Each structure stands twice: as structure tokens, then as C-alpha cells.
């Protein structure tokens, strides 16, 4: 039987065609898969191509599919208009790398135009630059060393001549494993060379070949790949991602990585993999908010389009809905206490305790982060709790006074039959702990850094003794909602099963480097698990982000409007632009700027998502999980970032560090929503954080 494969370059090129052209190309692709020997298919040998196995297949009068054809296989490689398709094929060949053994799609060196070196600004302005030879980044590496990283033999000399100015232009012509290795070498990291397979091994089975070539065994798999040509992640995975998706663990596992490294993609594939490998299992795919859960659900549809039975075994819900539904099923619909009711209950209880000298804000924080979060029901529980996540020390006598207040709050809520979200998850977790029948066999959690204590305890109870029961994806540097706490104390010990992704697919090198300056090189959780940002590289280049300090709000609006108009004139669509601010108070500034650009807005929220033809506007919290070609982060003024009203709620200087950390995380999240273009603006005086981002 002839093997039928597809290359990521085919899905890339398919996505650039019009809808009508895509439809025609797909029809021909299906015909090729069903019977590549059919007389109805018009094959034409490409005589000028360096690769003798390249053929073109006629789609219509102008569109051609380029295939790599051997006696035992057909590989869809490219599709375009006739002349462009032929030119592309004449500059490519598919061959086994002599060192790594991976099959590669190699750009033919002698047919590539000379790489243009960007001239320094001084030279472009007509100022004679000081003669200084550019430093060659890889001149110290020998040919066999570079080839060990997957560099094609004919590109070795170009790589050794590469400088900082030419690096990103050069790597566009190289296979991805070589790109990643060179980028890491350029920043002082020592990458692991790709796996080297013996000559007898199938070069298409090499892990690096799998990221660009995939065997499709039936028409439904082909339909999935072609229906979502822009979603390459649904078919092609990085070897490090593939390993985490398929690996068997002996306890809870966690994958981390900075924004844009593909954690969510791993979580999606992991959920589908578990459903496939365990035909009778029920898999939960969850995250902390409804908009993010909806985004996961949409991606799951594209990933499982050809496998409805698998899709039916994966439940996608925000974790609050999971807890609410399970509580209702077991105990009846919960009567949730509002924040206002909790606040008034604390106020009334505090007034009745004469010894109380604690501010209301401290009581609220202590209730939310300690008493309610950890479900402390008795004086002994509160007396002995370590108060993880709270930096302010509280002595024994003070705790006695505090417990008089909190016990009254518990009593008042009980009398009104009210429960908190922590109560909901606590009661469900307790029920699951004594019941062998679980509602789900596996749980995959995205954005796990923002899980609450009660939610984490619930997940630990849900997994029970299943060693593969829990898989978390998240980034401590993007924690914006929850106080830090010990996962290990709740039975979620990920030590030895915590992994970091380091290849950034979403954000340009310039934007990532600028945003990373907001955070330390490594972030550790309460249990001592460290997540390092060092060694993370972006695989594409882009214009440097702009930081603009304006004199007035009106000047800011005009500047942002001009920037948006310029992006639109370059071909960016309105829905590919997002504008973010710190809080709802600043939303009017964002609306004003978009209106000045003559565009309509759609405001992001729990139920509203990106709309075609409109620019998305929202707070930094709602930016989480989204991606835009261009992003503006506005109103980064002093006393807005970090938010002054939040700082004023801190009752002890020891807690200020936590506030500043999460405010930094928020700005980092907003900035890393941008793929190609980022503008950060403020009015004078600007946020102190902007200085940390560099000039």
C-alpha cells in the first residue's frame, strides 16, 4: 500500500489561497489519497527541479499541487499558482540529513538570492560608520558540529558567516531543528543535538521529521489537516511537545514555559491522547475562566474533527462550572455568598469583638487566603495552620481574636444556608475522597498557575490514585489571580515531573525579549519547583516594540490611532488588533483611540470574544489566553500600573511584594499577546515598570 503524507509547507501554502482555490485544491488532494494512479490525475514531471521526485498535479487552469512521488509514497509538499509553485519546487529538495538521519525539506543554496544585510541606521542616514567587522556568531564551530544540530551540509558556510544582523534572515532558509539550535547558541545556551538515527532507520520516522511530515492513513485525517490549514498545531508537534503528550507518568505532571511556547497545545493533545488510549475513559479538559474554556472547546473541535467518538469522551468546562455541577448533582444547587455578603458579615463580626484592632481589608484577605481557602472549620485548624501565602505574622493571642471573628462569619453564612466557592469545592472533594467512582478518569488543566487552593484540593481528590490522572499546563510568571500556596501539601507533588518548553512560536524575538525584562530569569513556587525563562528563544524576527510616553490622554489617543491606522494600511485586519488597559476605568481611553482610527470595538469579557471587523478592547485580565498580530497596551501611567487602589488595600508592607509581582505579571501577559507588533503607551509620569522594560 502506498504511504500518503502531508508536509507543513503544504498546509501553510494552502492557507494563503482564496476560499475557492482551497476548495479545488482539497478536492484534488482527496483524489490523490484515494487513488494516486488514477487516469484522471494530471501529473507533470518537474524537469528543472533539483529533486527528481518532484511532480506537479493539476488542480485547475492555474493552481498546481507539488508532490514528492516515489514508488511507495506520495507527499503533498506545496500548492500555489502555476508559476509560483514551479519556482518554489525548483528551489527545494527532500533528502535525509547525513548526520541526524532525519528527512528534511532543504532549500537549494545556489538558487537562493543573497541574504540582504540590514544596514546600520547611521549608514542609512548617510553618516559614515566607523569600520568595525561584524562578529561571526558560529565561526568557532566546525562543519561536523553544525551538522550535528541539523544544519544541511550546503548551508554550513553561510551559518559560520552569520552575524547578529544576518541571523534571522539566514535561519528562515533552514529546517526548524537547525533554527532552534542556532538561536540557542546565539544567546549562549548549549542545545541538545537532535537524535541521530542509523542509516537503516526510516528518515520520516525521526522525531524532527515528524514535526514537518505526517502520514495520513485515511480520508478523515486528511480532511482534518486541510480544513484547518492555519492550525498547524493540530497535525505537527515539536518533539518535546510530542513526548509530553504521550509520556506515562507516575503522579501529577506539569508543563511550564513562557508565553507562546505551546503549553495549551500540549494540554489539548494530551487530553485527546488520553481519550484515544483509554476508550472507556472520561477526560476533563479545564481552565480557570469561561472565555478560555470556550477557546479550548473551539480548538478541540478542529483537533478531533475526524474522530467524533474521541471528542465525545472529552468534557471541556471552566473549573467553576465543573465544581458547581458536581455539587448540584450531589447536594443540590449551591446558594453562593456574594462578596458583599461576606464583607458585611466580617464587618458585623469585627464590631462584636472588643479586642479586634485589625483593619477590614486585612480581615478580608485573611478570610479569603487562609480561612476560607483552606476550609478551616475549627479553632484548632486555624491555630495550627501555617498560613502559606500570607507574609504578615500573626501570633497566638492575635489568632484567638481573629478566630472569634471568623467563627461568627461561618455561623452567619450557615444560618443563611450560604456557601462560598471554596465550600463548594471542599465538599465535593470530601465526597470524592470516600467514593471510588470518580466523574472523570483524567483531568488536564490549562493555565494551572491560577488554580485556587480549593480547586487544587478538588483535583487531587478527583485523580485519586491514578498516576496519569492529572496533567497541568501553566506559567508561574503569568499568575495574576491567586496567592502562591503549596501544591505538595494538597497531594499535588510535581517534583521530578515538571517540564519546561523553551521554543516560542507566537511572539517575535524582539517582543519576547522586551516583555521578559518584566520578570526574573526564574520563578519558583512555594514547594521549590523552579521555572527558568533562560534559554527560551523565539523562532521568528520582527520590528522592535515601541514604548511611547505622551503628555496628555488626548495625545496618547491620537498616537495610538495613528499606529493602528498604519498597521491596517499594511494589511492587518481589525480583528487581528487588540488594545488592553489595566482596569475598566481606563477602557474609555482605549475606546477613544480606536474611534479616532475610525474603527469599531468589541469589548472582551466573560461572554464576548473577538469579532471579525472589530478591534478587541479589554482589561489585561481578559487578555489572558488570547493572541493578536498587533497589540497596544495603553494607559501604563504611574498609579495605574501597578494599580494604586490595589496597593492601598495592603495592610502590611510584607504583602506589597506579592501585589507588585502580580501587577508585573499582568503587564507581561498583556504585552505577550502580540505576535508581530507591540505598542506600549502611557502619559507622563509613566509606570515604573516601563523603565524596567528598557529603552
Angle at 621 between CA 612 and CA 445, to 5 degrees: 95
Query: Are residues 556 and 655 part of one domain?
Result: yes
Sign of CA dihedral 176, 182, 188, 190: positive
Query: Is residue 232 in some structural domain?
Result: no
Query: Are residues 548 and 622 part of one domain?
Result: yes
Write out pLDDT tens, residues 43-67.
999 999 999 999 999 999 999 999 9
Domain stop point among 418, 441, 461? 418
Checking if the pLDDT of 123 tops 70, the result is no
Write out pLDDT tens, residues 449-486.
999 999 999 999 999 889 999 999 999 889 888 888 89
Query: Are residues 624 and 501 part of one domain?
Result: no
The model carries a pTM of 0.86
Contact 251, 31 (CB under 8 A): no
CA-based nearest residue to 580, from 680, 649, 498: 680
Query: Is residue 537 in some structural domain?
Result: no
CA-based nearest residue to 325, from 291, 370, 284: 284
Query: Are residues 313 and 257 part of one domain?
Result: yes
Residue 536 pairs with which residues in a beta bridge?
A: none
Q: Give the C-alpha separation, 266 to 529, whole Å.
A: 20
Q: What is the mean pLDDT of residues 273-290?
A: 95
Q: What is the mean pLDDT of residues 489-515?
A: 92
Contact 171, 183 (CB under 8 A): yes
Domain stop point among 375, 401, 418? 418
Instruction: Give residue for cell 485519586.
Output: 464
Q: What is the mean pLDDT of residues 474-503?
A: 90
Query: Are residues 409 and 558 part of one domain?
Result: no
What confidence category does residue 122 fall into, taking pLDDT thresholds of 50, 70 and 90?
Answer: very low
Q: Give the C-alpha separation, 526 to 313, whole Å.
A: 34
For 158, the domain range is: 109-126+136-186
Is 690 exposed, middle or buried, given 0-12, 13-18 or 19+ CB atoms closer than 10 A?
Answer: buried
Query: Is residue 195 in some structural domain?
Result: no
Checking if the pLDDT of 657 tops 90, the result is no
Query: Are residues 414 and 292 part of one domain?
Result: no
Checking if the pLDDT of 566 tops 60, the result is yes
What confidence category does residue 404 fall into, taking pLDDT thresholds of 50, 70 and 90?
Answer: very high
Contact 328, 335 (CB under 8 A): no
Q: Give the C-alpha separation, 590 to 632, whole Å.
A: 9
Q: How many domains does the chain have?
A: 5
The whole-number pLDDT of residue 302 equals: 84
Query: Is residue 364 in some structural domain?
Result: yes
The whole-number pLDDT of residue 480 equals: 85
Query: Is residue 131 in some structural domain?
Result: no
DSSP for residue 117: P
Residue 43 pairs with which residues in a beta bridge?
A: 57
DSSP for residue 369: I
What confidence category does residue 608 fall into, taking pLDDT thresholds of 50, 70 and 90?
Answer: low
Query: Is residue 443 in some structural domain?
Result: yes
Residues 6 or more apart whose Cβ sits within 8 Å of residue 126: none
Q: What is the mean pLDDT of residues 232-260?
A: 91
Q: State what percent of residues in the chain have pLDDT above 90.
A: 70
Which set of grid coordinates corresponds to residue 206? 525521526
Checking if the pLDDT of 384 tops 60, the result is yes
Q: Give the C-alpha separation, 284 to 111, whole Å.
A: 51
Contact 679, 542 (CB under 8 A): no
207-216, 420-429, 574-583: which has the minimum mean pLDDT? Answer: 207-216
Q: Give the C-alpha separation, 630 to 519, whole Å.
A: 22
In terms of average pLDDT, the best of 146-155, 428-437, 475-484, 521-530 is 146-155
Query: Are residues 369 and 305 part of one domain?
Result: no
271-280, 600-609, 622-631: which has the minimum mean pLDDT? Answer: 600-609
Query: Is residue 196 in some structural domain?
Result: no
Q: State what percent of residues in the chain have pLDDT above 70.
A: 94
Which set of grid coordinates corresponds to residue 255? 508543563
What confidence category does residue 500 fall into, taking pLDDT thresholds of 50, 70 and 90?
Answer: very high
Q: What is the mean pLDDT of residues 283-307?
A: 90
Domain stop point among 500, 532, 564? 532
Query: Are residues 177 and 90 part of one domain?
Result: no
Residues 6 or more apart whose Cβ sits within 8 Å of residue 297: 316
Residue 242, classed as helix, strand or coil, is helix
Query: Are residues 60 and 92 part of one domain?
Result: yes
Query: Are residues 379 and 509 part of one domain?
Result: no
Residue 4, classed as helix, strand or coil, is strand
Q: What is the mean pLDDT of residues 331-359?
A: 94
Query: Are residues 568 and 527 part of one domain?
Result: no
The whole-number pLDDT of residue 652 equals: 67
Region at 694 (left for phi over 0; alpha for psi -120 to 50; beta for the rest): left
The whole-number pLDDT of residue 96 equals: 96
Query: Are residues 81 and 56 part of one domain?
Result: yes
Amino acid at each position: 500500500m502506498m504511504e500518503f503524507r502531508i508536509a507543513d509547507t503544504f498546509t501553510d501554502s494552502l492557507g494563503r489561497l482564496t476560499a475557492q482555490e482551497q476548495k479545488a485544491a482539497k478536492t484534488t488532494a482527496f483524489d490523490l489519497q484515494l487513488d494516486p494512479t488514477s487516469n484522471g490525475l494530471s501529473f507533470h514531471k518537474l524537469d528543472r527541479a533539483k529533486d527528481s521526485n518532484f511532480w506537479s498535479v493539476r488542480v485547475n487552469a492555474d493552481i498546481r499541487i507539488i508532490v514528492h512521488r516515489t514508488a511507495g509514497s506520495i507527499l503533498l509538499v506545496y500548492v500555489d499558482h502555476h508559476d509560483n509553485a514551479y519556482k518554489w519546487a525548483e528551489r527545494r529538495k527532500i533528502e535525509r540529513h547525513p548526520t541526524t538521519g532525519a528527512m528534511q525539506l532543504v532549500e537549494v543554496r545556489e538558487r537562493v538570492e543573497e541574504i540582504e544585510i540590514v544596514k546600520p541606521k547611521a549608514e542609512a542616514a548617510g553618516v559614515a560608520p566607523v569600520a568595525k567587522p561584524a562578529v561571526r556568531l558560529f565561526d568557532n564551530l566546525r562543519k561536523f558540529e553544525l551538522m550535528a544540530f541539523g544544519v544541511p551540509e550546503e548551508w554550513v558556510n553561510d551559518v559560520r558567516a552569520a552575524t547578529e544582523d544576518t541571523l534571522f534572515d539566514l535561519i528562515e532558509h533552514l529546517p526548524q531543528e537547525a533554527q532552534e539550535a542556532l538561536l540557542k547558541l546565539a544567546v549562549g545556551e548549549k542545545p541538545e543535538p537532535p537524535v541521530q538515527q542509523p542509516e537503516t532507520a526510516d528518515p520520516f520516522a525521526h522525531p524532527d521529521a515528524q514535526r514537518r511530515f505526517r502520514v495520513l492513513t485515511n480520508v478523515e485525517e486528511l480532511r482534518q489537516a486541510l480544513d484547518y490549514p492555519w492550525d498547524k498545531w493540530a497535525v505537527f508537534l515539536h518533539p518535546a511537545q510530542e513526548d509530553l503528550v504521550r509520556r506515562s507518568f507516575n503522579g501529577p505532571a506539569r508543563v511550564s514555559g513562557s508565553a507562546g511556547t505551546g503549553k495549551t497545545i500540549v494540554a489539548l493533545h494530551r487530553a485527546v491522547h488520553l481519550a484515544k488510549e483509554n476508550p472507556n475513559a472520561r477526560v476533563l479538559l479545564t481552565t480557570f475562566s469561561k472565555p478560555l474554556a470556550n477557546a479550548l472547546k473551539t480548538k478541540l473541535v478542529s483537533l478531533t474533527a475526524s474522530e467524533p467518538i474521541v471528542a465525545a469522551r472529552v468534557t471541556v468546562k471552566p473549573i467553576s462550572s465543573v465544581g458547581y455541577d458536581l455539587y448540584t448533582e450531589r447536594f443540590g444547587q449551591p446558594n453562593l455568598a456574594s462578596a458583599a455578603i461576606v464583607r458585611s458579615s466580617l464587618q458585623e463580626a469585627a464590631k462584636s469583638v472588643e479586642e479586634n484592632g485589625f483593619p477590614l481589608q486585612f480581615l478580608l484577605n485573611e478570610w479569603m487566603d487562609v480561612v476560607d481557602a483552606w476550609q478551616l472549620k475549627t479553632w484548632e485548624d486555624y491555630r495550627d495552620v501555617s498560613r502559606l501565602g500570607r507574609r504578615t505574622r500573626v501570633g497566638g493571642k492575635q489568632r484567638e481574636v481573629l478566630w472569634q471573628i471568623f467563627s461568627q462569619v461561618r455561623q452567619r453564612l450557615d444560618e443563611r444556608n450560604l456557601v462560598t466557592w471554596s465550600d463548594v469545592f471542599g465538599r465535593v472533594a470530601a465526597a470524592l475522597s470516600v467514593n471510588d467512582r470518580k466523574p472523570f478518569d483524567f483531568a488536564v488543566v490549562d493555565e494551572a498557575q491560577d488554580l485556587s487552593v480549593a480547586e487544587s484540593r478538588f483535583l487531587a481528590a478527583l485523580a485519586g490514585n491514578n498516576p496519569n490522572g492529572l496533567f497541568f499546563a501553566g506559567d508561574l510568571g503569568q499568575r495574576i489571580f491567586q496567592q502562591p500556596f503549596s501544591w505538595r501539601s494538597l497531594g499535588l507533588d510535581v517534583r521530578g515531573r515538571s517540564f519546561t518548553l523553551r521554543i516560542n512560536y507566537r511572539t517575535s524575538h524582539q517582543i519576547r525579549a522586551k516583555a521578559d525584562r518584566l520578570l526574573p530569569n526564574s520563578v519558583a513556587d512555594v514547594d521549590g519547583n523552579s521555572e527558568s525563562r533562560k534559554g527560551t528563544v523565539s523562532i521568528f524576527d520582527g520590528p522592535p516594540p515601541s514604548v511611547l510616553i505622551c503628555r496628555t490622554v488626548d495625545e496618547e489617543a491620537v498616537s495610538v490611532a495613528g499606529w493602528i491606522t498604519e498597521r491596517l494600511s499594511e494589511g492587518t485586519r481589525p480583528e487581528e488588533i487588540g488594545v488592553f488597559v489595566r482596569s475598566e476605568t481606563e477602557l474609555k481611553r482605549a475606546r477613544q483611540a480606536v474611534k479616532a482610527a475610525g474603527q469599531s470595538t468589541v469589548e472582551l469579557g466573560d461572554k464576548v470574544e473577538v469579532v471579525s471587523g472589530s478591534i478587541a478592547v479589554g482589561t489585561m485580565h481578559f487578555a489572558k489566553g488570547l493572541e493578536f498580530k498587533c497589540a497596544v497596551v495603553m494607559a501604563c501611567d504611574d498609579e495605574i500600573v501597578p494599580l494604586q487602589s490595589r496597593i492601598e488595600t495592603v495592610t502590611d508592607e510584607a504583602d506589597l511584594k506579592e501585589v507588585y509581582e502580580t501587577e508585573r505579571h499582568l503587564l507581561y501577559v498583556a504585552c505577550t499577546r502580540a505576535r508581530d507588533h507591540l505598542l506600549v503607551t502611557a502619559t507622563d509620569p509613566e509606570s515604573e515598570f516601563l523603565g524596567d522594560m528598557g529603552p
